[in-house]
Structure 1
Amino acid sequence: MKFHRAAILILTATRTVASFTPRSSGGRTAFSGRRAFSFLASTSSGNPLLDQKDLPRFSLIQASDLSPAVDTLLTDMATNFESLQTKISPSSAKYDDILPEMEKITYPISYAWGVAGHLNGVKNGEELRKAYEGSQGQVVKAFSDLKQSRVIFDAMNEVIKDPSLSQAQRRALESNIRAMTLGGVGLDGAEKERFNDIKQRLAELATTFSNNVLDTTKLFSLTITDPAELEGVPSSAKKMWAAAAEGDEEKGPWKITLDGPSYIAAMQHLGVRKHREAIYRAFVTRASEANEDKNNVPLIKEILTLKQEAAKLLGFSNYAEQSLSSKMADSVQKVDEMSSFMKEKALPNAIKELEDITSFARANGGEEYSEANLPRLMSWDTSFWSERLKETKFDMTEEELRPYFALPEVLGGMFGLAKRIFGIDIKPADGEAEVWNDDVSFFNVFDEESGEKIASFYLDPYSRPADKRGGAWMDVCIGKSKATNRMVPVAYLTCNGSPPIGDTPSLMTFREVETLFHEFGHGLQHMLTNVDIGDVAGISGVEWDAVELPSQFMENWCYDEKTVYGFAKHYETKEPLPKDLFEKLKEQRTYGAGMMCMRQLYFGQLDIELHARYDPTTSSESIFDVQKRVAAEYSSHLPPVEGDRFLCAFNHIFGGGYAAGYYSYKWAEILSADAFGAFEDVGLENEEEIRRVGRSFRKTVLGYGGGKPPSEVFEEFRGREANPEALLRHNGLM
């Protein structure tokens, strides 16, 4: 990956996804035949979490099943693992003696715990939360014990010397050796005991952090009763807010919450400035000091302190060093170089964009926005006035586009694209799988040439603020593995899009369309893998800063004419999206790109600063002082408001897996834009060449998964190493 004349090398360190790491993390659509999950359902025979012959038994699972299932499966795993250790002789062990056996031993608890983790994200409730938290310590301890087996570690270090190993086998061994090294296999005595205590506590803190964000997101609402205060608000937003308040679209009342679709609509369209300020301040103070027993401030300090301590026990100077040891960007310096390079390109644009928005607001917002009364726009102003400027600049509103982006049509178009470029058929299969909510659909994936079923996935598309965490994600239900005889991978694709209202289907914003394509890209890498070693099949074993490549790559197709016209049809008249609207959609792609880029760089560098250069035990700065300091460099054009506590809801780095890794979004975006450039190079209208390049992308980026270093995968696909020119061009930053 080249930045000016200095090359930042794409390195080959693997992300640690060892085989013995557990995975956690009436119907509204046209689809039918779903069976909904309920904790109150009765179990007719046995524990459904122990029934692992096929897909999860969501209609039978109760929260009370989790603890006994975990007890049984951990006991079995310990017995089988002890038996394996007695059979292993490090000096004479073979590959088949170790990793395939480890997969078999750990699969049952990984499967059950993965189902529990998934439900904790999409159907969260007090009963499940209590059961999950009650078993979490046992699971963490059990897998820590496995990672600290000297017998297995020594055997793998001997086996990896075997010259006959395939590249995927070698990558799997490297991944596991690294996982064990970072898991404390080299520690003894008091250090080992302390390290294990830290791992336990960090798991508890991450879960509590996420729960606090979910709970405090649900706490706030603002009810509007005066129709005049909704002047200019799109019908879709009024319908959504009226539904939340059990009111009428035109007469009210209307309830605005901090749930994603509701919050974004308010920031973009609610004209009453005091209401936007109240909603914004509530959003950026979730799970902070204002929330008493749901306060994440002390949790963040403890998380940072413990990660720092654990990293030093492993011989690293700080947690960022530990995190980056298994990523493509293997040092803080390389992340800093990438961020500085992108900042140099994006900041002038960001400043100019904000100046334009500010000028527009002062010209159109009346005395309230005059320079005398408002030296600068506040954070609750920018989205609102940015939307107004965009509407004026491009003579198009988001509301005009929504009727052309009905979810069923978007899915059909997205699946049509996958058929065109990757040679797969995706077919609805509702009724074949039990689901956890009536909103959820199930699909099978077939290879077009052979007709063979090669994968399946669940799609949970809509926001459910009562029990579903925010954001969008893809997760593994079943991974491809010859050892466990599971050769048909299954994925969970989860979004928080606009739900249907009454008889009107889900009419998506264009950003929601992009998000769906993004998560589908993750799912494709999981589902189209050609590797059958569980440790490196699909997304497993892929370096963290490369894992966003397929997802961000898929977003580019939302601006491809043939792709868009495969789904952009008015939900009532079936008329295609007017050509002038599509042209405007393409034109506005670079609108606000500088500010968006700086926002991502700001988050990424704040993450690195906290994990690399900040010591919470000795520094005189608070985490919010650090935030202000980083903002002065990366968000100087739009500094945080006084009292901003967005860190308290920064789930990516404190409740998820992105600690010292948030930069990965921008790093992988460079890769993904350059990958899409291969299609642009042959001509997006050249169907024969698009098919050829698409099959190459499937074979390499999607097919190799973690079985080959991403630098080699990219170079095999592109014919050279990556450079950022395509991204700069796509974002108008050349």
Structure 2
Amino acid sequence: MLSKQCLTWRNISRAAARRVTKRSSQASLYVASTTTDGKFFSTMNNRHNIISSFQKQNTFDGSCKRTFFGSLFAGSNPFTEALLSENETFTHINYSKLKPIHVKQAADEMQAKYESDLKAFEESLNDDVDYETFIREIERISRPLITLQNHVVLFSCVKRDPTFDEALREANSTIDLKHEYSPAIREHLLRLQKGFDDNSNEEHSRVVNHLLRKHRINGSTNDVVEAVKEIRSKLESVQSDFLFKSSLTMEEHGKMATPQELLPMMYSQVALQQQLALVLGYHTYAEYSLDYHNAMAKNVKEIQAIHGMFEQLRAVEKFSSDEFQSAYIDLKKTSDLDLNEYFEMNHVLSGLFDLCSALFGIKIEEQKSGVNGWHLDVRLYQIYDMDSGENIASFYLDPFRRQHKDRGCFMAPLQYQNESNIPVAVVSLDVKAPMWDDAPIELEVQNVIDIFHEFGHLLEHVLADVEHGAFSGAQDIENDASETISQFMEYWLFHNNGFSKISSHIHSKESISPDTMKLLLQERQAKKATELLHRLFLGQLEVEISSKFDPNGDESIIALQRKCAERFCPHHMPPKGNIDPLVQLFQSNANGKNTMQYRYIWSEIMSADLFESFSKSENLPDTGRKLRKEYLAKGSSVPTTKAFEAFQGRSAQADALASRYELIG
């Protein structure tokens, strides 16, 4: 999910953008923070081009066989050198050589090659082209362009200087994944689909259905591709203007938009969204959005049932009471502790890596040389399977806030797994950099929570073991299950004094006291309860807007906001003339999360249920490896509900989450 500053054109990278995730740098009770939804920035280090290569054998001691493409001659392009290489070894792009011009040049060259290869493949299609041949060729043709598209999303967050921003805009306008609406490709997908039966490989069926869904939401199925492009272009234009104006602040810009300026833009977006849905053959925009996001929820009634369940559990009555809210306010006042000196980043990371080793049988080691990152602070890590010693994944860590880097935290995929390549991803944090290079890197409590949360998203990406990652990897997990493992990882900090275990004072080496741990847990529980009400409020408001609201009707959108607030947030009613909840919602939707506010609650039901098995387990390594095998390794090759049932032996139940909120005994 991209930040409010991120212009809508970036949202065209559908598969990549949907997997970009975020945690606010503040412990906000809002579902989608108004600070960021996932981005990075970095200042490019344009040093003199030199030939650079780093190769090691793939051994368990942390070294690995990797090729780092340097500049072989002046003006060479790190993107095309790596992504168009015929070399079968996995390649990391040499970002230290990257210049703005390289992005647009790579887009032009890769798009041209993609279109040429796609055309030749379309002409060769016939009934004899089987599933394996078809999917492998589509992946070969599209993989470089999809990987470049992922990097456009990445650099739109980490390189927000005018030169790179313009280059990224140009590259984004060039990238066009035509196989996602090609009639010839669609017809062959339908032929493959007809050939499947009950005994067919489930992953194969899901890959085909995934690609057909792309055609459906792009208008290929109804032959309305151009009409869809036109409506989306108009919608993105309005959303871009809305994101810009709604982000103005008196402190930074000396002005801010009034509700009178923003409301017409909201109505325009709703009208265009409804038009888009109808053109594509959906009854409502909510129906379209659930399909677009590959949701487990198939209709609005299922979302409303979740909202209604918490009403029946009397969550609103309990958490909106004066007694609860007063206690929460008092708790926030007394818990303003300065614990930074207890949480040094490298120590916290070591504790996190040890936990992942114990649970999932993986070993994480930092690669000290040959990183070639987009900033000198960027680190590179290799992930190994502890049983085989095999190098199974890589990830970059971009830890510090800086100029030209968006605030907030997120995980973003760069490359998906296939037969030749391991997955690669990025974790970006919002840590305050130390004043001196050799000074301890002190973390706030929220920084620690963010690290564990984003690492959960990373685990979903790097531990998915599927045949064709670009089509059926972690990137296509149902969106309303996307927060499950990230929230699961957070639970460890508040379970059995988790915060205490990873704390170590930078001078005394002491852990935080039991009283401090107790206070952190109390604040966490109160904050989550208040957050739950706001998520119910925004979720219901979004459902109403996307399924029932008539922008030309008698009821105003402000009246709808008030009605939903009265139902779920009676303790925090927006003042007259205040449209902040609507602004937050439309900013989130403009960044690609339409009808997805409920996903946090849906995911949390599963994460609490999963974690309860661990809290009761007598053998954590066995339970963790089972979760990796039955749930994480499946990626999106099977439905999330099926993977969950394979691990838990039953479907997800809300009892564990209700118990955490103390709504049941």
- TM-score normalised to structure 2 length: 0.82
In structure 1, give the amino acid aligned to 2:289. Answer: S
> Match of 2:290?
324
Q: Deviations over 1:413-466 (max 9, x none)?
A: 1111001111111111143322223332221111111111111111223333x4
> Match of 1:61?
98
Of 313, 323, 347, which residue of structure 2 is paired with 1:355?
Answer: 323
Asked if 2 retains the 8 angstrom alpha-carbon contact of 1:454 and 1:489, the reply is yes
Of 106, 130, 133, which residue of structure 2 is paired with 1:97?
Answer: 133
Q: Deviations over 1:567-620 (max 9, x none)?
A: 11112211122233324433444224432210111122222222112233x134
Shift in CA distance, 205/94, structure 1 to aligned 2, threshold 3 Å: farther
> Match of 1:631?
565
Q: How does 1:427-442 map to 2 (within 5 A)?
A: 427-442=365-380
> Match of 2:413?
476
SS of residue matched to 1:124: coil
> Match of 1:314?
280
Asked if 2 retains the 8 angstrom alpha-carbon contact of 1:321 and 1:332, the reply is yes
Shift of 1:57: 2.5
Question: Distance between the aligned counterparts of 2:586 and 2:342, measured in 1?
Answer: 33
Asked if 1:493 is matched to 2:439, the reply is no
> Match of 1:664?
599
Of 6, 16, 19, which residue of structure 2 is paired with 1:23?
Answer: 16
SS of residue matched to 2:638: coil
Question: Distance between the aligned counterparts of 2:78 and 2:662, measured in 1?
Answer: 53
Question: Distance between the aligned counterparts of 2:200 and 2:281, measured in 1?
Answer: 30
Question: Distance between the aligned counterparts of 2:425 and 2:106, measured in 1?
Answer: 22
Asked if 2 retains the 8 angstrom alpha-carbon contact of 1:479 and 1:537, the reply is no
In structure 1, give the amino acid aligned to 2:225. Answer: K
Asked if 1 retains the 8 angstrom alpha-carbon contact of 2:319 and 2:530, the reply is yes
Of 517, 520, 523, which residue of structure 1 is paired with 2:458?
Answer: 523
Shift of 1:95: 0.5
> Match of 1:467?
404
SS of residue matched to 2:533: helix
Question: Distance between the aligned counterparts of 1:594 and 1:96, measured in 2?
Answer: 49
Asked if 2 retains the 8 angstrom alpha-carbon contact of 1:529 and 1:538, the reply is yes
Shift of 1:624: 3.6
Question: Distance between the aligned counterparts of 1:311 and 1:131, measured in 2?
Answer: 32
Shift in CA distance, 639/186, structure 1 to aligned 2, threshold 3 Å: same
Asked if 1 retains the 8 angstrom alpha-carbon contact of 2:474 and 2:635, the reply is yes
> Match of 1:72?
109
SS of residue matched to 2:544: helix
In structure 1, give the amino acid aligned to 2:348. Answer: V
SS of residue matched to 1:461: strand
Q: How does 1:650-729 map to 2 (within 5 A)?
A: 650=585, 653-682=588-617, 686=618, 689-729=619-659
SS of residue matched to 2:427: strand
In structure 1, give the amino acid aligned to 2:303. Answer: V
Question: Distance between the aligned counterparts of 1:67 and 1:457, measured in 2?
Answer: 25
SS of residue matched to 1:216: coil
SS of residue matched to 1:96: helix
Of 49, 60, 68, which residue of structure 1 is paired with 2:79?
Answer: 49
Q: How does 1:234-253 map to 2 (within 5 A)?
A: none
Question: Distance between the aligned counterparts of 1:440 and 1:211, measured in 2?
Answer: 29
Asked if 1:162 is matched to 2:130, the reply is no
SS of residue matched to 2:480: coil
Asked if 2 retains the 8 angstrom alpha-carbon contact of 1:478 and 1:491, the reply is yes
List alignment gaps of at least 5 residues for structure 1: 1-19, 26-35, 222-256, 258-281, 361-381, 392-396
Deviates most, 549-558 or 68-77: 68-77
SS of residue matched to 2:443: coil
Asked if 1:216 is matched to 2:248, the reply is yes
> Match of 1:28?
none
> Match of 2:149?
113
Question: Distance between the aligned counterparts of 2:557 and 2:99, measured in 1?
Answer: 40
Asked if 2 retains the 8 angstrom alpha-carbon contact of 1:405 and 1:569, the reply is yes
Question: Distance between the aligned counterparts of 1:99 and 1:39, measured in 2?
Answer: 38
SS of residue matched to 2:82: coil
Question: Distance between the aligned counterparts of 1:627 and 1:340, measured in 2?
Answer: 18
Asked if 1 retains the 8 angstrom alpha-carbon contact of 2:461 and 2:473, the reply is yes
Q: Deviations over 1:57-101 (max 9, x none)?
A: 321222222222212211111111111110112x44310232221
Question: Distance between the aligned counterparts of 1:314 and 1:303, measured in 2?
Answer: 17
Shift of 1:711: 0.8
Q: Percent identity?
A: 25
SS of residue matched to 1:641: coil
Question: Distance between the aligned counterparts of 2:344 and 2:471, measured in 1?
Answer: 36
Of 270, 273, 294, which residue of structure 2 is paired with 1:304?
Answer: 270
Question: Distance between the aligned counterparts of 2:569 and 2:206, measured in 1?
Answer: 39
Asked if 1 retains the 8 angstrom alpha-carbon contact of 2:45 and 2:375, the reply is no
Q: Deviations over 1:191-246 (max 9, x none)?
A: 43221212334455555655666x636x626xxxxxxxxxxxxxxxxxxxxxxxxx
Shift in CA distance, 419/543, structure 1 to aligned 2, threshold 3 Å: same
SS of residue matched to 1:637: helix
- TM-score normalised to structure 1 length: 0.75
SS of residue matched to 2:359: helix
Asked if 2 retains the 8 angstrom alpha-carbon contact of 1:168 and 1:536, the reply is no
> Match of 2:332?
387
Shift in CA distance, 116/704, structure 1 to aligned 2, threshold 3 Å: same
Deviates most, 167-176 or 527-536: 527-536
Deviates most, 523-532 or 565-574: 565-574
Shift in CA distance, 654/287, structure 1 to aligned 2, threshold 3 Å: farther
> Match of 1:7?
none
Shift in CA distance, 493/287, structure 1 to aligned 2, threshold 3 Å: farther
Question: Distance between the aligned counterparts of 2:15 and 2:202, measured in 1?
Answer: 24
> Match of 2:349?
411
In structure 2, give the amino acid aligned to 1:158. Answer: R
Asked if 1 retains the 8 angstrom alpha-carbon contact of 2:248 and 2:257, the reply is no
Asked if 1:602 is matched to 2:528, the reply is no
Q: How does 1:333-348 map to 2 (within 5 A)?
A: 333-345=301-313, 346-348=315-317
